[in-house]
Every structure is written in structure tokens, then in C-alpha cells.
Structure 1
Amino acid sequence: MSAAKDRVRLWLRLLKVVRGIEQELRDKLRREHNTTLPRFDVMSALSRHPEGLKMSQLSGVLRVSNGNVTGIADRLSEEGLVERMAVPGDRRATVLRLTKAGQAEFAAQAQAHEDWIDDMLKGVSSEDARAMAERLQAFAAAAEAKEDRKKEYAHAQ
């Protein structure tokens, strides 16, 4: 079998595994925490930035459009899980950050998320998990560097 076919087979298997895990996480978040994966992702990003993030920064961290984040932020704010703060000197900008209630809710969701993934991947040893993660990180870094080179070349033209 050719290397190209091996790589396509790898891609298809990765995709199948990721989609299956993602669907299970979506179902569990909905059933057990009455939330969605995008809401979880927003709260996760904000939990890593306790000082808060501007909407544009949050969109960048999540790699989605501002429009996608705005509706989620509105609902989280209405529920008292996120607060909006004005940015001094910029009337149009607001910073979002988790409230104390948001921090507590996210901590519970994050622990459940970790437990679910640990259970779903229990057949993978810690050593194998680390090795696979390192390989995937190296692959992602190489792909990102290649994309950066393409952008630099296009910009130079």
C-alpha cells in the first residue's frame, strides 16, 4: 500500500475517533450540565484568562467569528456566569470574564469533562497518550509553519 493511502486511512480513523468523542461530550454536557460544547469552550477560554478577554481576543482564542461568540456571551451573561466590563478609553470594547458563579460552574464542568475523556480513552496508557500528543503537536506546528510560509510568500507577491 502506498504512503498516501496509509495517510488517508490515518486521517479517516482520526476523524472517526474525534467525531465520536466530540459527539459523546456534546451529549454528556447537554444531559448532565444543561450546556453545549461551544458554551463550555467559551468558559474554558475565559477560565484561562482570569483578567478577562475582549470579544475579539476571545474569538481569536476560539478561532471563530465574533458573531458566534456574541450570542453565547449574551446568554452566559444573562445567567450570571460571565460579566462584561467596559474598556477604559474604548467605548465600543468590552472585556468578558467569568463571575464567581461562572468559575464554580466551569470547575464542575471541567472536572466532569476530564473524567469523561479519561474514561473514553482508558485503553490508552499515559505514556502512549503523551507520545501521541507530542506527535500530533509536532505535526500541528509543522502544518502551522507551512501555512505561515505560504502567507509570507503571498504577502511578498
Structure 2
Amino acid sequence: MNDQAKETKNLAELFSRMHNRIKVESLSNHRKDVGTITPSQLKAIKFLSRHNNNLLTGIAEGLGISNAAVTKMTDRLEKKGLVERISCAGDRRATALKVTKLGEELIAKTEQAEMHQWNSVLSKMSADDKKALVRGLEAFIKAGLADIKDFNEVCLKCGVEHSDNCPLNSSAD
């Protein structure tokens, strides 16, 4: 590995750790409401909130986890009052999930807390550095997507609000 690749890898790892720290901190502020919730559980709730087909098998596929893992996670989220199971008409074996009002409130609060944390970091950067960061991240993502045949491997499944500016849209052209 050359020096530039090592430096890039290390910077990417630091960026990832900072991102995870922001996620964990945004969740820790809401322990009094729902107890401890993991970033994976929040990701699952956000996924549920943004998709109409919430069968357990579809959720497992969308999150890239096993059916057993989504069942276990569902049990935990249901106990916290963040999701509820719904029987599917026409197929008694199929179970769908719905985010509860408490779950939607948690999503809104954590997203607001995350944005506050991101804004706090970005406010310490110059306008030119912010633009350079965006350009660099976009270029990195587009370069990484060049060799990917199936964008579903990396798609966020609208884990964030879908945007026409999504690099997946421009790379698909």
C-alpha cells in the first residue's frame, strides 16, 4: 500500500469513527425516553419509517441482515414501544412492522440531534473547506461506484432523505 492510500485509509477510518460518535451521542440523549438503543436499531426504525413494504423478510433484505437478526431486533424494538407487529391479511405467516408514534418521535429527535452535532463540527470549518469536503466526498463516492455493478449493494435504501443529487443517480447515467 502506498503512502497516499495509507493516509486515505486512515482519514476514512477517522471520518467513520467521528460519524459513529455523532450517531451514538445523538442516541444517548434519549435514553430516558426509550432506554438504550443501538445505531443498528435506529437504522432499522428509519428504514421502516421510509418504506411501505415492511414485511420482516423485506426489512432483512433492505438492511442486509438475516431474518433471525431482524426478528430478534423486532422483539427488542417492540418491547421499547418503538414498533408494532401487524398481521398481514391473506397470509397469516407473514408479519409486517409499523413504527409507533414514539418511534417516529425518536427518529425526529435523533435526526435533529445529529444535525446539531454535524453543524457544530462544520461551523468550525471555513466555507472553502466545507466545499472541498463535499467535493472530495462526492468524488470519492463516484470513483468507488465506478466498479460496482449493482448499486443496491451500497444504496442507503433512503436511510437519509432521497435526493436528486444522490451520487447513485449520477453514476447510473
On whether the aligned pair clears a TM of 0.5, the verdict is yes
Q: 1:11 aligns with which of 2, 9, 12?
A: 9
> In the alignment, what sits opposite 1:43?
45
Count of aligned positions: 144
Q: Classify 1:106/1:28 alpha carbon distance in 2 versus 1 (closer, same or farther; 3 Å).
A: closer
User: The residue matched to 2:94 in structure 1 has which SS?
Assistant: strand
Per-residue deviation, 1:67: 2.7
> In the alignment, what sits opposite 1:33?
30
1:24-58 per-residue CA deviation (whole Å, 9 max, x = no partner) reads 4324423x112221121111111212x35112222
Q: Classify 1:146/1:65 alpha carbon distance in 2 versus 1 (closer, same or farther; 3 Å).
A: closer
> In the alignment, what sits opposite 1:100?
101
User: The residue matched to 1:53 in structure 2 has which SS?
Assistant: coil
User: The residue matched to 1:145 in structure 2 has which SS?
Assistant: coil
Pairing 1:132–2:136 present: yes
Q: Distance in 2 between matches of 1:144 and 1:124?
A: 34
User: The residue matched to 1:86 in structure 2 has which SS?
Assistant: strand
1:95-139 per-residue CA deviation (whole Å, 9 max, x = no partner) reads 112112221221111111222223234427453343234223313
Q: Classify 1:118/1:8 alpha carbon distance in 2 versus 1 (closer, same or farther; 3 Å).
A: same
> In the alignment, what sits opposite 1:144?
148
> In the alignment, what sits opposite 1:152?
none
Superposed counterparts of 1:64-103, under 5 Å: 64-103=65-104
> In the alignment, what sits opposite 2:171?
none
Over the aligned positions, Cα root-mean-square deviation in angstroms equals 2.7
The structure with the largest helix share of the pair is: 1
Structure 2 stretches of 5 or more lacking a match? 32-36, 153-173
Is the contact between residue 86 and residue 94 of structure 1 (CA under 8 Å) also seen in structure 2? yes
> In the alignment, what sits opposite 1:151?
none
Per-residue deviation, 1:147: 9.5
TM-score, normalised with respect to structure 2: 0.68
Is the contact between residue 26 and residue 110 of structure 2 (CA under 8 Å) also seen in structure 1? no
Is the contact between residue 21 and residue 120 of structure 1 (CA under 8 Å) also seen in structure 2? no
Structure 1 stretches of 5 or more lacking a match? 149-157
Identical positions, percent: 26
> In the alignment, what sits opposite 2:57?
56
TM-score, normalised with respect to structure 1: 0.74
> In the alignment, what sits opposite 1:115?
116
